Structure 1
Amino acid sequence: MRKTLYIIGLSIIAFSCTSQKSSKKKAYWPKTATIQPKTATKTQAQDKPKPQITNDHGVEFFTTNISDPTKNDNTVSYGSIVSAKPAGYKVVKTYFPAIAQNFRQRYLILHYTALPDDKSITVLTQQAVSAHYLVNNTGDNEIYQLVDENKRSYHAGVSSWRNDKNLNDNSIGIEIVNAGYTADATGKKLFVPFSDDQVKKVAALAKDIVTRYQIPATNVLAHSDIAPTRKQDPGPFFPWKKLYDEYQIGMWYDEASKQSYYDLATSTDFTTKYNDPTFISSTQTALQKFGYGLDVSGQWDDATKKTIEAFQYHFRPQNYDGIMDAETWAILQALNQKYPIK
């Protein structure tokens, strides 16, 4: 009997302990998570409302920059916004525009037509060459637009400057009506000046373009700069210094720097080392460093002479014989000092 009661007592104690353990475990079980509907996470873009897109007769425009101009970034659209229209879907601009963007238009290239007004219009609108703008020589206040700035015009052809090639892809071209040049009996090129009215038009047009697209001074160029072995336009009579001085357009050297380099060149026997391959190579390297697409050969080859001639058209128009004399050399050094590749 006593043994039976002992067994029953042990059973009661075991049951009691088990119950306590179970209750303790139950007390610490984690609660089942309740699934809540997802709420939209606010992004920084949503917290800061963006300027509105303008809608004019069903055409959308965005004319406010929300990006960082110090990085040459820009979100402004100077034309209508072009969007895809995928079948069965709707393209929305809920998050338009992203700030990580800039303009395709990075260069401004100046040309002359080598034709009179009427033929310039015909060739540039009906044949396989074009330009975004044509500046006539009729004395009026009109400038002809021939190609949308957002489209490629066929004005630069095979071309290069610094690290860029095929500049039709990223440039705006301005053609100026001008007869170009004729050659005299010695083969010297004789160019035709530009009228004052044309220069004023070009300056106003160029100022507008470089300001809107933030085009740097180093990217305002002649056709002869980007294709020196085959082009001469706009030639030595185009007033690059006037554009620089009066309109803050394009590049020009500092006179004090140029004089310093000139004094250095003339203090040594410049003419003696002229045909030294080392000097030729260093000169070709300096031209290449400035931006010209030129191979370093160590010889005064035809490509080098034409490149020097193109350089002189732009920066030393008083003498464009294609010879790297002390003054041309000094100007080149001064320009490389002022406009290094970044």
Structure 2
Amino acid sequence: MRKTLYIIGLSAFVFSCAPQKKVVKTTYKPKNPVTQPKTVVKTPMAEKPKPQITNDHGVEFFTTNIADPTKNDNTASYGSIVSAKPSGYKVVKTYFPAVAQNFRQKYLILHYTAIPDDKSITVLTQQAVSAHYLVNNLGDNEIYQLVDENKRAYHAGISSWRSDKNLNDNSIGIEIVNAGYTTDATGKRIFAPFSDDQVKKVAALAKDIATRYQIPATNVLAHSDIAPTRKQDPGPMFPWKKLYDEYQIGMWYDEAAKQSIFELAQTDFQTRYNEASFIFLIQTALQKFGYGIEPSGAWDDATKKTIEAFQYHFRPQNYDGIMDAETWAILQALNQKYPVK
């Protein structure tokens, strides 16, 4: 028995001390190895070179538009580039200009001064009212600039047109020397005419401004358009149709469209004139066109003054502030031609 146990123990010892065979794990290898996709390295597109900023005696200018004019974007500057000068740091124009920008100058507003040339200059330069330009009545070729186009002039006051308010913020103002109006025995306002020289000056000036700043026809307006309950200027004697026909400035209706509407409008005035719903419709049409009127359904004072302002601009033969079929037809024709976008 002992001998047997001895032999078993010796065998176990020999086995434990003998070299062990290495166990090799097998790994599955597919017949067709999978090819890893190559990483595509995108080559950055070269940025389109921008026109250079010009430097004149240390003053910088950029007068080339590289933005999209169809979006009313414009990178050109009409004047020197104004830049910050932070203490201890340098402002560089390595990436100037960004294309996402447009002009502050969105409106062109026309006025008359209601006082003579010399007084107009004094008031517009020395008092708390101003305009960017003043067109005199001296028969010369001069137009006075009073305010930098990049700054606000105090010419519009409390004002609105369509969705915009306080138009001093985004407009250029042109004052025209003119006597304004007097009142006759019946209380009717009699307005003074503008000279041919003045009209030519205003047309040339307005054309230049509207072209440079891409100001649309709907934004070339009278002071009375943007403040109808307060202002009358430049009044019914200002030749808006002449500016439209001869210089392509501002708005005017199409005669054929107006006549077509006029034939239908006469029936409305015979049967519906004093209906609140019809008055509300007219007020809403004035508001849609751009006037800052709140529809009330009544022929109130604000409505009368707004109609009067509309007639100054688009129906100067009759500016009594009473809505008639022709004025109504003109308003509808204008809303068709110049819809709110």
Flag whether TM exceeds 0.5 (same fold).
yes
* 1:179 correspondence with 2:188: no
* 1:318 correspondence with 2:317: yes
**How many Å separate the matches in 2 of 1:216 and 1:233?**
21
Stretches of structure 1 that go unaligned for 5 or more consecutive residues are 22-40
Report the equivalent of 2:15.
Answer: 6
* 1:63 correspondence with 2:63: yes
Q: Could you list the structure 1 runs, at least 4 aligned residues long, displaced by more than 6 angstroms after superposition.
A: none
Q: Residue deviations 1:149-192, cap 9 Å, x none?
A: 00000000000000000000000000000000011111100000
Deviation at 1:271, TM superposition (A): 3.2
**How many Å separate the matches in 1 of 2:152 and 2:97?**
23
- What letter corresponds to residue 152 of structure 2 in structure 1? R
Distance 1:306-1:123 versus aligned 2 partners, 3 A rule = same
Trace 1:24-173 onto structure 2 (pairs within 5 A): 47-173=47-173
**How many Å separate the matches in 2 of 1:9 and 1:239?**
120
Q: Residue deviations 1:248-271, cap 9 Å, x none?
A: 1000000000001101112x2513
Report the equivalent of 1:31.
Answer: none
Deviation at 1:13, TM superposition (A): 3.4
Deviation at 1:274, TM superposition (A): 1.2
CA RMSD of aligned residues (A): 1.8
Report the equivalent of 2:211.
Answer: 211
Trace 1:234-253 onto structure 2 (pairs within 5 A): 234-253=234-253
Report the equivalent of 1:304.
Answer: 303
Deviation at 1:325, TM superposition (A): 0.5
**How many Å separate the matches in 1 of 2:17 and 2:201?**
115
**How many Å separate the matches in 2 of 1:8 and 1:227?**
111
**TM-score between the two structures when normalised by the length of structure 2:** 0.90
Secondary structure, counterpart of 1:47 in structure 2: coil
**How many Å separate the matches in 2 of 1:5 and 1:104?**
100
Identity %: 82
Deviation at 1:8, TM superposition (A): 3.1
Secondary structure, counterpart of 1:174 in structure 2: strand
* 1:340 correspondence with 2:331: no
Report the equivalent of 2:7.
Answer: none
Secondary structure, counterpart of 1:108 in structure 2: strand
Distance 1:59-1:42 versus aligned 2 partners, 3 A rule = farther
Distance 1:43-1:188 versus aligned 2 partners, 3 A rule = farther
- What letter corresponds to residue 97 of structure 1 in structure 2? P
**How many Å separate the matches in 1 of 2:15 and 2:204?**
113
**How many Å separate the matches in 2 of 1:42 and 1:209?**
43
Distance 1:133-1:185 versus aligned 2 partners, 3 A rule = same
Stretches of structure 2 that go unaligned for 5 or more consecutive residues are 1-9, 28-41
**How many Å separate the matches in 2 of 1:214 and 1:4?**
103
Q: Residue deviations 1:218-277, cap 9 Å, x none?
A: 0000000000001000000100000000111000000000001101112x2513321111
Report the equivalent of 1:38.
Answer: none
Deviation at 1:88, TM superposition (A): 1.2
- What letter corresponds to residue 335 of structure 1 in structure 2? L
**How many Å separate the matches in 1 of 2:14 and 2:112?**
121
Secondary structure, counterpart of 1:335 in structure 2: helix
**How many Å separate the matches in 1 of 2:285 and 2:127?**
38
**How many Å separate the matches in 1 of 2:155 and 2:43?**
47
Greater shift after overlay, 57-66 or 46-55?
46-55
**How many Å separate the matches in 2 of 1:313 and 1:5?**
124
Deviation at 1:6, TM superposition (A): 2.6
Distance 1:124-1:279 versus aligned 2 partners, 3 A rule = same
Secondary structure, counterpart of 1:193 in structure 2: coil
**How many Å separate the matches in 1 of 2:168 and 2:121?**
20
Equivalent pairs, count: 318
- What letter corresponds to residue 8 of structure 1 in structure 2? C
Distance 1:81-1:42 versus aligned 2 partners, 3 A rule = farther
**How many Å separate the matches in 1 of 2:114 and 2:231?**
11
